[in-house]
Structures are given as structure tokens and as C-alpha cells.
Amino acid sequence: MTITKYETQVTKLGPVTQDFMAEGILVFFQMTVPDELAEIAILHTHNKLQQEVVAGDKLIIDDYVLPILCVGEVANENLANLGHFVVKFNGLTQPEMPGDISVPSDAPIPPIAPGTIIKIVGKK
């Protein structure tokens, strides 16, 4: 049985977001983040994390489905408490940083704009 572990909607993109996206990095923060972090972030409404994110789950950005290859040791805590997560298109099966969520390096980076729906789904 597949469940939605987390779902949110993008509200705003910081002015430096496109630079990070060009490097294959998506930095998400909830809307209440300090201004200096909002500059680099994809801001979103923060909702409750229903279940921990694990390798094998799927990250869905609108109609794009990306397999999650690995999840850093603090990624779930950051997501649950701060609405913060970092998606890296690096293809790694071991996280570079403790807050990383890695997806395939050859996956296209989906277009992201206010209104984009982000979901993480997986097995119950």
C-alpha cells in the first residue's frame, strides 16, 4: 500500500534558487524562514510529516516522479521540525551531507513555480 508521507505547495522562489537548480540542488524551506535563507530557498507551506522518508520512496514534483536513492540521517528531523529539505540530483546511494535527499543524476530537474505541488510517497 502506497501512502503520502509528505505533501506541500510551493509559495515562492528565492532570487538565488535558479543558481542552485542549475547545479542540481533544490533547497526547500517553510515560508517562515529568515530572509537570508529565503534568498536561496524554494519556499513552501509546511505540513506534518506523516512517516519517515526512506530510500525507495518517490519524490513527486507535479507530474515528475523521482526515485529517492538515499536519505541523510537528519533529513527527516529537518523536514518534520523546520520544513527544510535538500534534494540533490547526484545519483548517490550514500548522502553527501546529513540533510540530503538524493535522486538520480540523470533525472530532469522539473520546472518549479508558485503553485507547484511536492509529494513524497512510499510504502506504509
Cell triple for 104:
538520480
Residue written as cell 530510500? 55
Domain extent listing, the chain:
2-123
Say if residues 40 and 17 touch (Cβ distance below 8 Å).
Answer: yes
CATH architecture of 2-123: Beta Barrel (2.40)
* pLDDT for 50 beyond 90: yes
pTM passes above 0.85: yes
Give the model's pLDDT for residue 67: 99
Residue 82 phi, psi (nearest 5):
-120, -5
Confidence check: pLDDT of 112 > 90: yes
Mean pLDDT in residue range 48-64: 98
pLDDT in tens, 71-97: 999 999 999 999 999 999 999 999 999
Residue 35 φ/ψ, nearest 5 degrees: -55, -40
The pLDDT of residue 110 is 96
Mean pLDDT (the chain, rounded): 97
> Does 124 score more than 90 pLDDT?
no
DSSP readout, 6-61?
EEEEEEEE-TTHHHHHHTTEEEEEETTS-HHHHTT-EEE------S---TT-EEEE
CA dist list (Å): 113 to 60, 82, 92: 14, 21, 26
Question: 14-41 pLDDT, tens per residue?
Answer: 999 999 999 999 999 999 998 999 999 9
β-partners of residue 106 are none
